Structure 1
Amino acid sequence: MVQLYNCHPFGSQQIVPARQEPELCCCGRDCIFVVCAGGCKVEVFTSRGEDWSLLCTFSTLGRVLQMSYSDKGDYLVTIEEKNKVATLRTYMNWRCKSNGNSRVSVRMVGLKLETSCSGVSRDQMEIVELPLSEPPLCISCCSFQGDLLVGCRNKLVLFSLKHEIASNDLEMLDFERSLILHINVTPLQIALCAGYVSFVTEFEVVIFQVLLGSEETSNIELENMNRTTKQQAEDPKASMLEAPPSTDELDEFVICQRPVELIGKESKSSRISVKLESTGLTEEGTIDYQLHYILYRYFTPDLSQVCPVEETRLHSLQMLPMYRTGCFGKEDGDPSAQGRELLSLFCFFSMPHVGYLYTIGKSPALISTYQYPERCQQAVLTPQFLHVITSTNLQCFTVRCSAAAARDDDPYIDTTMKTCPPVTLDVCALRMQLFIGLKAICHFRNHVILLTKANTEDVTEREKTPKRKVSRKSVFSKRETLAEAEPGWNLYVVNSISTSQLYKEMVEYSKNYTTIRTQSSIHLLSEAHLLVRAALMDHNLIDMEEKENLLKAFKDSCVLLGDCFSRFDTKYSHLALPYYKMSGLSMSDILSRTSLDEESQKYGKGFIFYLKHSLFEDLDEELNEEAATKALHILNDAEKNQIPHALCSPCMQNVCPKIAMKYLQNLERAAPSTLVTLTKAVIALKMQDFKVFETEMEKHTEMMLVCGLLDEPRLLLHRRKEQIHPTQLALSLKDSRPGVLVASMVTLHEHSKIELNEATLYFKELCESYEDDNVPQLLVDFWESLVVSCPQESILQDLLHKLTSHYIDMISKVKHPDTKPLKTTEDLINSCSHFGLIYPWITLMPLESLPETYSMGLAKLQALLCGPSVAISSVLPSLETVPQETNAALSLRVLCKTRLGEYEESIDSLLDQCPEAVIPYASHELKDGRLALWWNKLLPELCKRTRIDEGQNDVLVSALKETLTVVAMELDLRDFLSVCPDDGNVAFFLPYALQHSTKKFIA
């Protein structure tokens, strides 16, 4: 369906002062190439202000049948006929003709440039002939790379543009025939862009991509194509996708098949085969290519009217590239061809009454269909419009290229933060301008060039009837009297108005539908938005003033679309949110421009959606009391259950607390919940009514309070400028209910509402501990509670490292916690496997008189080291800061050495500093595979030290006796005697050994 609007995209028109009747015309970068009828001369016209003047002329070597211009390389390519032979030529450096230089050089493609240019000035035009084995039928230039594609009877020949350095360091252009594509049909029109190739026959369209690839891949592609072609040849009924034979082969019958559309790999099954023949050479050898199929479509001829075949077949094939620019927060745009990055690619082709626009880049798809009111003769596609000519009309349709390109640039554009009108939006016709005898059309930038040729009757009628104006602001050429005296042909240049001006007109136009037809108003504003978006995506946009005006129009269109979706009741009302986000307006501005619907006395659901989601986000904006109270009134009328969530938003800090408490009390009577109670407590704190605060907090258990805080985390924390800050409720809970606060933060972390490093900064700010080495006790309680909750392995080691470092720091510097710890050592051991039972020999070690905080930190550290999770090797370096002369430090060092398997060193350390702990240590650690250490290590050491002390050390003597008891019980008498020292007192060892041997024998 095509929407019809009467806007004015055309602002003025001029007549190109061609001296002879034009036969062909095409557009260049900033000029128009005109070929006179029956002549061998090209006239080049350029704009001089409001008028067009002749830039230069140059002669061709034959009659020009077709021509095309390439912006990359600035060359003109022609198909010329001389002596009934068609040849292909390119004209380079033709601009030197504007200086009156008549020098011309002619050479064959691939000729060595050093020999052809030796001693010759480069201030001359150069004609390069490109020989072909068959006459050329059609041509196309790649606007992205400057390559040239030539269509012949059953082949397509690709010439790659090359930059060569000739003598005197002069850069020159040349071509290399790099690829031949053999096809089994004759192309009527072809198109080439960035490696994508398309061609049409009378009723078929084929699009594919030529990629550099390995020889193996290319062979596989060819085999698949050959196999498909062979199957179709053997069994023509096997596939209903085969198109009918050409009309040349059928003299008496016309066979019409149903239309076919194949996209992607399915297009391989069409009747058209493509075979690659690589002719380009590199230092490594032949370049290999492969095919990526994109589209095949077959149309049935329109037999509703009796007309020649030429008037029913496909035409106007073209490709349109769009490039990535820096206008929407990406990298800075580069208008130069070298800096372009292809973003999207579109292909357009047309039947006499219907046009088709496909996107063929990332995911091929039909995005628009154009129904013409009359038979179309030719059409040209631009990023903003589709211009179509019939015999008497120039029509301007909108296109969806910018919508598709926006989604290629950002696949996540359709979110709550940003959006874009859909690609499936109905196209619309903006203008229909009358002309007489329209024959051809071409386009560049904001100029539409029209070639008209009217017969005598049309000219007479034109003289009687004054020409209709282009628009109410049209500026016509001063040559009106001359135009009336001209014969029945003209070359018009119709200039489009600026996008900003057309945008303003479309906005004014949309006001006619505001209260009558909702969808029409939204549709026209969406069209205006897409026009501005397309202008901003133009890689030639370098005028900063124009860019600023377009950005202003872009934001303005977002505001207007946001107003439409917020006011009107449609299924797309939720789009009010992203459009308002893109507009850049603050919430206060949007609240001030929104009012009640006069009929329903309600706010639109789109606005409610915007308001609700905006209050859910962590915005830096704070509404004033009037705006905040208005927002609260709106939610009270629309969605009462959202009031607690809204009051938790940082935007609502200035809301009137009395009105808020009134609405909360009404809500609690209707639907009581923990969240409502907590919100009432927050409002009571704001009113400094601490009695009401305590009353509300006592209504629910601690577990219910934690669930309520999980339902709305903003009760405890606010995010501003990507930083987390504690709320007034969190400050109150820190003093009154620290357990609830810590448990809530642990729950928020488990549900991914806060990260570990964010929680660290949060507790430091909450406890005003801004120094890096100052760890508040609440933060330690948070870490301990997280470890108890068995977190993921990715953060477990980080938590254990933080806790061990803190415990060691407490022991080393004897720091006192700022608050009472929530968990004791026993609590941690009983509730968590990461804290192990403290080994008995540690508890039996006599400790010095220590402060309570010191002993608690020591006990927790010992329990953590006794657990299975801490990496002991990472703890040893930190233990060096603990005072070494205490038994506490000794217990930690021996514990770490024991966990690392260094039992002998541990025994030496205990014998040196705490011998009374040796036997408890040995009883606990020297078991099973380590039992031999009793007689291999402990017994010799005790004997040695006892001998040195001459038996005066009762602790060592007692330990030796305990050791002898264990050794005697574990060893036979002979083995026992062998481990006893041979220089000892036999009277001491022998009775002891006999006694225990007797017990062992009896046992």
Structure 2
Amino acid sequence: MVHVYNCHPFSSQHIVQVEQEPGLVCCGGGALFVVATGGCKVEAYDLEQGSCPLICRFATMGAVASIQHSKMGDYLVTIEEKNSATYLRVYTNWRHQAEERARVGVRLLGHLLRGGSMRGGAQMEIIEIPLSERPVAVACCAVTGDLLVGCGNTLVLFTLRRQNQNSLQILQGAGPGAHQNPGPSQTVSILDFERSVILHLSELTPKQVALCDSYVAMQTELEVLVLKLEASSEPEVQEESPDINQDDQPDFLVLPRHQELLGDRAKDCGVHVSVERTGLEDGGRSSVSYVLFRSLIPDSSPGGVAEEILLQSLQLRPLFTRHQSAPPDGPACVFCFFSLPSSGYLYSLKGCVERLSVYQYPERVLAAALTDQLLHVITSEFREHNVLTGIFQAVGIDPTTTPALGSLLSRPLLSRKWASPPPRGSSAAGHGWNLYVIDTVPPLTLYRELVEYSRRYVATTPQAQSLRHLLSEAHLLLRAAALQQQNREGGAAEGTAGGRELDDAFRQNCAQLGDSFSRACQKDCHLALPYYRMSGLSVEEVVSRNRPLPSSPRSHGPGFLFYLKHHLLEETAPRLSQEAADEVVAIFSQSEPSQLVGVCVGPAMANMSPARTLQALQRAEATAGVSVATMMLLLDELPQFTQLMERHAEMLLLYGFMEEPRLLLHGGGGGGGQHGHARPTALARQLVNSQPGLLVAAMVALHASGGVQLQQADHVFKALGCERCLQVDFWEAILMASSQEDVVQELLFRVASVYIDRLTDARPDPPRGRGPLKSADILINSCCHYGALYPWLTVLNPARTSNAQHQEAPHKLQSLLCGPSLSVGAVSPLLDGLPEETSWGFSLHLLRATRRGQYDSCIEKLLDRCPQAIIAYGNHHFQDEDKVLWWTKLLPELCNRTRAAADNGILLAALKETVVVVAMEMSPAEFLELIPDDGAASYFLPHLLTCCQRHLLT
């Protein structure tokens, strides 16, 4: 919190003359309500007219102990005492009671009157609200107009309703003119209340209560509890309070110290709350959730005064971010404020419950009040006013665009306090007492006073930190004023004269704060960026404001350099003129040469002079070799470009690309954020022809570091015209480096699709004059997703073709099908398009069937097309539980085919090797059963002898 001093927040004051000593006052509906000390009469004065004329006066039914006004429904609620009894009463249509000449109707809650009320509310009504306990506090909801009453150990909620001849409706808003006489065709409606919910409390007795939307707050002398009421269809489970045996209590008392429980943790406060639903309109239930609990137990220092530790000024205040009198989803945020005599606390309740600010008062405070823009506190002699902090953060405004919030919470105090003169004790003849109605200065006027004061302050005490505090306070005033005006004018404040004036002042204030933070220390210098952004100044204007003076000991502030560097990093930044771009190069060349590379490669610097920039970069060539080469491309000096690129090792160049992705890519968040298209630079286009391997390696490194996504890389290679060559090399390289399963599966399908397309010539690739960067052998040896080819595939290896792609693509596809990672089911539909007549097609179909375990069909296909590969196939696949296929499937097939074939040399050789395997696996008896009975037994006798000898040995 920052106090701003010697700037008066009041523009004028009006004197309201009353005959008797005022005891209670309250405001609302454009009126001031005054109750004399111990009196039974209420006087209402019009605050919207300068002279504050009397609206009406009316008598109450007892001495008023508490009075409040509700904007919704325009009613007054009082706690009155009469004959040692306490009553709760509501006064409606009080504006009709001018000069006490109108009739008054008195009725009980829920009972309607005949006569004036039924004729359109032409008379004031007093609604008696019976209670089983004595009311001690009352609060009205600013959103719904509902009424909350605090009693001994209960909180009673009354729902404000409008009753008419047809139905009972919840009141959504009723202003001062809500009860005018309706026309003949209108429905007569009357305000009424319904007792809807009773909250039974344990351990706490409320002293003050507050109500806003669905939030209920209560305050004792030392504790604050905030609850939220919600409609529920589930039956509520009543929790029993723990029964504590007094005999088990220790002899001493343990006091918690400053306990703060937020959100779900608040349920551990030890206060049991049960809900009793009493409403008749709906049969639903209500549930209660704990939102905030704060216990403030001060230090037990000797000589302490009891009044110094009591809580006061409990408020719940809503904040709307759009113009709606009663939005269906309620206010954007609800704030809770309460105060000790020495400090105030501001919390945000809706969404994330958090403490926003702590206000330390320099002296004891008698009362505090929270408004939309200021926190007003009253001491014994003065009024102090503090600019609210933390409001914007609570309603979801990005703190990076409102950085003053983070720098203002709980800040130290400055100088002296604001003061207004004490009221005069005498008045004109005939009146014994004066009330002073003070008009606050409009935010724009107060802002101008703050700016003027800051100029005088910095002239006498040139401290940038103190000046920045003043400007930050002015910034918060303008933000709050703009938000409030948008709510009043339905979001169209920008088009009005007042809105434009506020906007101009806000931009001027942001520019001043940007100037302050541009010269700040390293800790706060980054805040120059958001303030300069909000100011709307162009880069040229910001550079002009930050040109160092001839007598300045330092050239440029760190905040200015931070702003300039990060603003130029944005891909959407407008292009600078050549003069401005050259000045930027000169600034970084002198102040931060190490950042010169990142500055030069941005699109905003496209108009810079290449010759001048080259001179600056050549002085830092050891760390900026790639950027110097970029300048050579801009100068069309290709020989010098080649020489410079050859001067540096490839790994060093890769590090350079990873440090500054914009050397290769523009767009997509400066080198490849998650969104947007990335486009190649001139250097990337040159690398396609000169060093394609370096380009692919750089793209792989950027992908690994999160600098570019797969979709963005695809767009880059398409823009380079090499989506079917270097793009596939990039995918293969990612497979070698990536360990992300989702990325691996995506790329396996992509490369398999490309290999199949190359075999079918479905999409012929453009000529590139070279083979792929990674051959099939390299991928098999260095990438775990490519498996070693099965031995039987070497027998099926087709004849070499003249097309180099047809030599590599089938080998790579075979390797993928032999590897552990590719899902056969994913590429099976693509393999259907390969003809089995070709050698490559036959081998790939056979691999697919083998991966699916279809060995029977594979044996038949091999015996039909390539029987010389059958033994290699069996040796590789017929192992363990699949070895039985040797004698159940392969041996009978070979016997039948050998007998039927005319030229059976290959089949006989395969049969011999099969019989050798069978003889080693079976007993003599089992082997005899397999021997055919067609007279060819002599062929199997040597194998039978081997089988018998082996059996005898074992």
Is TM-score (shorter-chain normalized) higher than 0.5? yes
CA shift for structure 1 position 491 = 3.5
1:935-946 alignment to 2 at 5 Å? 935-945=887-897
2:475 to 520, 529, 534: 529
Of 825-834 and 32-41, the range deviating more from structure 2: 32-41
Q: Please tell me the residue identity of whatever aligns with 2:562.
A: F
Q: How far apart in 1 are the matches of 2:40 and 2:874?
A: 111
1:736 to 690, 699, 702: 690
> Where does residue 845 of structure 1 map in the other structure?
796
Q: Please tell me the residue identity of whatever aligns with 2:217.
A: V
Q: How far apart in 2 are the matches of 1:208 and 1:861?
A: 69
Deviations 1:542-569 (A, max 9, x none): 3523455444443432222111111345
Q: Please tell me the residue identity of whatever aligns with 1:235.
A: D
State how many pairs are aligned.
Answer: 897
Change beyond 3 A, Cα 1:965–1:714: same
Q: How far apart in 1 are the matches of 2:438 and 2:430?
A: 19
Q: Please tell me the residue identity of whatever aligns with 1:641.
A: S
Of 282-291 and 131-140, the range deviating more from structure 2: 282-291
> Where does residue 782 of structure 1 map in the other structure?
730
Q: How far apart in 2 are the matches of 1:177 and 1:925?
A: 78
> Where does residue 358 of structure 2 map in the other structure?
367
> Where does residue 91 of structure 2 map in the other structure?
91
CA shift for structure 1 position 530 = 1.1
Q: How far apart in 2 are the matches of 1:654 and 1:486?
A: 80
CA-atom RMSD in angstroms:
4.1
CA shift for structure 1 position 536 = 3.9
Q: How far apart in 2 are the matches of 1:41 and 1:991?
A: 133
> Where does residue 210 of structure 1 map in the other structure?
227
SS in structure 2 of the partner of residue 875 of structure 1: helix
Q: How far apart in 2 are the matches of 1:759 and 1:291?
A: 50
Q: Please tell me the residue identity of whatever aligns with 2:792.
A: W
> Where does residue 183 of structure 2 map in the other structure?
none
Deviations 1:763-821 (A, max 9, x none): 11122x6xxxxx42111001101111242223111111111111111112262354331
> Where does residue 620 of structure 2 map in the other structure?
667
Change beyond 3 A, Cα 1:314–1:703: closer
Deviations 1:386-440 (A, max 9, x none): 33456775x341233xx32333334972589996542223467784332424xxx
> Where does residue 563 of structure 2 map in the other structure?
610
Unaligned runs of 5+ in 2: 170-190, 670-675
Change beyond 3 A, Cα 1:568–1:285: closer
Of 27-36 and 752-761, the range deviating more from structure 2: 27-36
> Where does residue 797 of structure 1 map in the other structure?
745
Q: How far apart in 2 are the matches of 1:537 and 1:289?
A: 32
SS in structure 2 of the partner of residue 168 of structure 1: coil
Q: Is the 8 A contact 2:20 2:36 kept in 1?
A: yes
Q: How far apart in 2 are the matches of 1:55 and 1:581?
A: 50
SS in structure 1 of the partner of residue 647 of structure 2: coil
1:456-605 alignment to 2 at 5 Å? 458-459=426-427, 484=428, 487-514=431-458, 516-538=462-484, 540-542=487-489, 544-545=492-493, 546-547=498-499, 549-569=501-521, 571-597=523-549, 598-605=551-558
Unaligned runs of 5+ in 1: 242-259, 326-331, 438-453, 460-483, 770-774
Corresponding position: 1:423 with 2:374 = no
SS in structure 1 of the partner of residue 758 of structure 2: helix
> Where does residue 174 of structure 2 map in the other structure?
none
Q: Please tell me the residue identity of whatever aligns with 1:349.
A: S
> Where does residue 443 of structure 1 map in the other structure?
none
SS in structure 1 of the partner of residue 12 of structure 2: strand
> Where does residue 764 of structure 1 map in the other structure?
718
Q: Is the 8 A contact 2:223 2:294 kept in 1?
A: yes
Q: How far apart in 1 are the matches of 2:403 and 2:849?
A: 57
Corresponding position: 1:706 with 2:654 = yes
> Where does residue 195 of structure 1 map in the other structure?
215
Of 640-649 and 935-944, the range deviating more from structure 2: 935-944
Corresponding position: 1:816 with 2:765 = yes
> Where does residue 860 of structure 1 map in the other structure?
812
1:68-217 alignment to 2 at 5 Å? 68-94=68-94, 102=102, 104-109=104-109, 111=110, 121=120, 125-133=124-132, 135-144=134-143, 146-151=145-150, 154-155=152-153, 157-163=155-161, 167-171=165-169, 172-176=191-195, 178-179=197-198, 189-193=208-212, 194-200=214-220, 204-211=221-228
> Where does residue 468 of structure 1 map in the other structure?
none
SS in structure 2 of the partner of residue 585 of structure 1: coil
Q: Is the 8 A contact 1:939 1:963 kept in 2?
A: yes
SS in structure 2 of the partner of residue 835 of structure 1: coil
Q: Is the 8 A contact 2:320 2:332 kept in 1?
A: yes
Q: How far apart in 1 are the matches of 2:45 and 2:907?
A: 114
CA shift for structure 1 position 540 = 4.2
2:833 to 866, 869, 881: 881
Q: Is the 8 A contact 1:566 1:606 kept in 2?
A: yes
Of 605-614 and 730-739, the range deviating more from structure 2: 605-614
CA shift for structure 1 position 34 = 3.3
Deviations 1:964-993 (A, max 9, x none): 5554565566545543555x5x2xx33321
> Where does residue 834 of structure 1 map in the other structure?
785
Change beyond 3 A, Cα 1:981–1:419: farther
CA shift for structure 1 position 727 = 1.2
CA shift for structure 1 position 179 = 3.1
Q: How far apart in 2 are the matches of 1:116 and 1:170?
A: 20
Change beyond 3 A, Cα 1:776–1:103: farther
Change beyond 3 A, Cα 1:77–1:338: farther
CA shift for structure 1 position 77 = 0.6
In the superposition, the TM-score normalised over structure 1's length comes to 0.80
Q: Is the 8 A contact 1:179 1:276 kept in 2?
A: no
CA shift for structure 1 position 66 = 1.9
Change beyond 3 A, Cα 1:971–1:338: closer
In the superposition, the TM-score normalised over structure 2's length comes to 0.84
> Where does residue 182 of structure 2 map in the other structure?
none
Q: How far apart in 1 are the matches of 2:402 and 2:81?
A: 60
Deviations 1:50-94 (A, max 9, x none): 554455554432332320122344431112233453311112354
Q: Is the 8 A contact 1:398 1:430 kept in 2?
A: no
Change beyond 3 A, Cα 1:554–1:909: farther
> Where does residue 580 of structure 2 map in the other structure?
627
Of 950-959 and 78-87, the range deviating more from structure 2: 950-959
> Where does residue 940 of structure 2 map in the other structure?
993
SS in structure 2 of the partner of residue 630 of structure 1: helix
Q: How far apart in 2 are the matches of 1:555 and 1:235?
A: 64
Change beyond 3 A, Cα 1:880–1:118: farther
Change beyond 3 A, Cα 1:156–1:645: same
Change beyond 3 A, Cα 1:212–1:378: closer
1:397 to 380, 385, 391: 385
1:264 to 261, 265, 272: 261
> Where does residue 254 of structure 2 map in the other structure?
239
Deviations 1:615-638 (A, max 9, x none): 444443322222222112211222
SS in structure 1 of the partner of residue 619 of structure 2: helix
Q: Is the 8 A contact 1:114 1:166 kept in 2?
A: no
CA shift for structure 1 position 48 = 5.2
Q: Please tell me the residue identity of whatever aligns with 2:61.
A: L
SS in structure 1 of the partner of residue 608 of structure 2: coil
Change beyond 3 A, Cα 1:183–1:125: farther
CA shift for structure 1 position 909 = 2.7
Q: How far apart in 1 are the matches of 2:410 and 2:534?
A: 21
Change beyond 3 A, Cα 1:810–1:432: same
> Where does residue 326 of structure 2 map in the other structure?
336
CA shift for structure 1 position 508 = 3.0
Change beyond 3 A, Cα 1:903–1:190: closer
Deviations 1:8-28 (A, max 9, x none): 432334445768775432111
> Where does residue 643 of structure 1 map in the other structure?
596
Q: How far apart in 2 are the matches of 1:418 and 1:729?
A: 42
> Where does residue 373 of structure 2 map in the other structure?
384
SS in structure 2 of the partner of residue 992 of structure 1: helix
Q: How far apart in 2 are the matches of 1:216 and 1:167?
A: 34
